[in-house]
Each structure stands twice: as structure tokens, then as C-alpha cells.
Amino acid sequence: MDNPLWGNFPDLAIFRQREKLHGYSLEDMRPSLSQGLPYPPVFVSRFPRLAELLDRARVTDFVLDDQHKEIRLLAWTTHSGAWVCWTCCPPQDIALPDKDLLSPEQQLLLEVLGGIRLCPGIVNAGELDGSPADNFALNQDFVFFASDTPLDTLLWVEDYDDAFANQDDRGNDGETVQNYTRFADGSWLVLAHAADGGEVLCHRETGHLLVFSGSHCNPRLQPHPVYRWTARYNGQSTDYLLQIEGIASWHDWVEALATQWLVATQAGISPGQG
């Protein structure tokens, strides 16, 4: 099928980089285009907003010839006429976490969509003008259960354990930890991994959401009411374990992400438009 979006793709970093390094062009990628991403009937009942967003997507599958790696772009048109995309690993290629760690609903999400992934040289959440400015995929290296970033390898978990072991509640400066939890014991899963080292976590059994961030200015991020890790220096206080206002669970987070992109993109745009 002729792909009317293909002419836009040279603006993505992966094509600029590979054309320079390897000397081949878009014609080497063998693109195919389809409208909407298929999913089983149960998916729309569990993820109605995400299903609506996937129905709108222009789906392009292509192959990076030097890596023989299949990549999937899900593209949408914004109200301003710009197009934005998610760069996805097809489900059959994604390195799934141990399925015993995932609920059936989480497995369903990965089986349909795979992960929104930052492959070498690719910006996952749309690097062209028009990408939603306030969305949960912004600046993320991986969205939807990053199996390659287990909690026991993250530097902040070690720092958190040290803060708990060495805290001095009597001092005005230093770090304190309330309701200490062992993040590396398998109870928590990485839902999204940020480029700056931040994490969005969900509890494996309850589905409750928790955000780690070393620095942030998002007013929706508030100190977590249960798990607290606070640093105080020179009269300034910083909380590292946070919650997102109005978002209680990983399922809420996924549907809110889909809603953010639905609001920012146009309905009813056919592959030949935009």
C-alpha cells in the first residue's frame, strides 16, 4: 500500500542518523501502512480510551535493514495539522517480563501494543512539532512495563535504602524515609522509565501507582501519602516518592495517557489526509 506519511519520516532522528552512518534511504525500509491497530474484543472493555486511540492510528511497520529489526510507528494528526507518533516494539519482539509478575490485564496490554520504546536514535513520543506538551509519555525511554530496567539495577533504589539506613530524624538537614518498603523484592513493577532516571511504578498486587523523580515541576505530582522519602538541605525540602493527582492505579495511568493523546489529535483522519 502506498504510504502517504512516509515523506515525513526523514525528520525522525533514526532516519537522519542512519542515512548519515549507513548511506541508505527510506526506500530501504520497506514500509507498509494500515489504519488502526487490531485488538481482541476484551481489549475495548478493559481499555476503552486506549482502544479508541488505536482505532485512529495510522500504523506503519518497517524494517531497519542494518539491524533486521521490525519497528512500528503509530501516527496521529493533531488539530494544528502536525503529526505525532509512538515508536513501538511489535509485541512478538518485546522482551516481556516474567508473566508470573503480570496480571492478565497487563499481559493483554503488552500482547496488543507491545511497548512504546526508545530505540537507538528514535524519539518514542513524537519529536515533531505538535506532540502533546503535557502527557505521560513525554521524555520516557520506555512505556508499558520496562522489562530491561528491573528495580534491583536502578541507582535510586540503592540511594533509598541508604537513606533509610542512615537517616537521623533529629537533624534539620539530611534525608528521612517513612513507611520503608523493599522495592527490589518483586512487589513493584516498572510501568515507565524516564530519560532522566525517573520511574513510574505500580504495585504488582494492588496496582497502586508510585512515581520516583529526582526533580520535577509538574503541579500534578504531589508527595505520596504513604511512602515518603524527603531530603532537607539549607531549609529546602524535596520529596522523591510521589503520586499523580487523580491517578490511583496503573490502569488509570494508561487510560489517562490515551485521553491526553485523544484530546490532542483529530478524529476521523484517513491515511490519505493530514
For the chain, the structural domain boundaries read 6-145+252-264, 151-247
Q: Which DSSP helix (H) or strand (E) runs through 161?
A: helix 155-166
Determine the pLDDT at residue 1. 40
- Rounded average pLDDT over 226-250: 90
- Cα(229)–Cα(212) distance, rounded to whole angstroms? 10
User: Is residue 148 over pLDDT 60?
Assistant: no
| Greater model confidence, 183 or 9 | 183
Instruction: Report whether pLDDT(170) > 60.
Output: yes
Q: Which of 13-22, 176-185, 190-199 has the lowest mean pLDDT?
A: 13-22
What's the CA gap between 82 and 94, in Å, rounded? 29
- pLDDT (0 to 100) of residue 191: 87
Q: Distance (Å, rounded) from C-alpha 53 to C-alpha 102?
A: 23
Coil, helix or strand at residue 228: strand
| pLDDT at site 249 | 95
pLDDT of residue 113: 86
Q: From CA 109, how far away is CA 122, in angstroms rounded?
A: 22
Geometric angle at alpha carbon 130, from 45 and 21, rounded to 5°: 105
Average pLDDT, the chain: 75
The whole-model pTM stands at 0.81
Q: 58 or 20, which is more confident?
A: 58
Q: Which amino acid type is present at position 109? A: L
User: Can you give the pLDDT at residue 274?
Assistant: 31
Ranked by mean pLDDT, which of 86-100, 125-139, 253-267 comes out on top? 253-267
As a whole number of angstroms, the distance between CA 211 and CA 140 comes to: 13
What confidence score (pLDDT) does residue 60 get? 78
Lowest mean pLDDT among 1-5, 161-165, 222-226, 235-239: 1-5
Angle subtended by helix axes 48-56 and 104-113, to nearest 10: 0
- For 5, 51, 84, the CA distances from 56, given in Å and listed in that order, are 14, 9, 12
- What type of residue is 178? Q
pLDDT band for position 243 (cuts 50, 70, 90): very high
Tell me the three cell numbers of residue 22: 549507513
The counts of H helices and E strands in the chain are 6, 14
Q: Is-contact 225 244, C-beta < 8 A?
A: no
